[in-house]
């Protein structure tokens, strides 16, 4: 939220990056959690690295999303976690960010 509200002109604060960055890293965490049966101290860096690599390859880098795989693995969450709170929370944050920056502060970014 700091990027979106404080630095909306940053390429990392664009809605595409925020939404898909959180989605990609959360899915990376879920994949590692359910399909790579290794100890936690190995799975965590694999998941974070995979999430960061996905964001870079897909040009959707959003640095705060890098923590999602840790939350997903440490919480042993299910696929439902992707819908709520990841997707729903991200949409709410984006709506407030766009309203604040575009309508109230009259900035051209994000979007």
50 contacts 69 by C-beta, under 8 angstroms: yes
Bin 106: left if φ > 0, else alpha if -120 < ψ < 50, else beta.
Answer: left
pLDDT, position 14: 94
For 69-83, how does the pLDDT look when each residue is reduced to its tens digit (9 = 90+)?
999 999 999 999 999
**pTM: predicted TM-score of the whole model, two decimal places:** 0.93
33 contacts 43 by C-beta, under 8 angstroms: yes
pLDDT-derived band at 102 (thresholds 50, 70, 90) equals confident
pLDDT-derived band at 109 (thresholds 50, 70, 90) equals confident
- Look-up of token digits 């994949």: 31
């Amino acid at each position: 939220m700091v990027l979106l509200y404080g630095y909306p002109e940053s390429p990392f604060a664009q809605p595409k990056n925020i939404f898909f960055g959180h989605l990609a890293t959360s899915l990376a965490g879920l994949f590692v959690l359910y399909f790579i049966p290794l100890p936690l101290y190995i799975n965590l860096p694999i998941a974070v690295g995979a999430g960061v690599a996905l964001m870079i390859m897909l040009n959707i880098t959003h640095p705060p999303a890098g923590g999602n795989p840790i939350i997903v693995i440490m919480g042993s969450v299910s696929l439902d976690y992707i819908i709520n709170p990841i997707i729903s929370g991200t949409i709410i944050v984006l709506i407030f960010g766009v309203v604040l920056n575009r309508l109230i502060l009259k900035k051209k970014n994000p979007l």
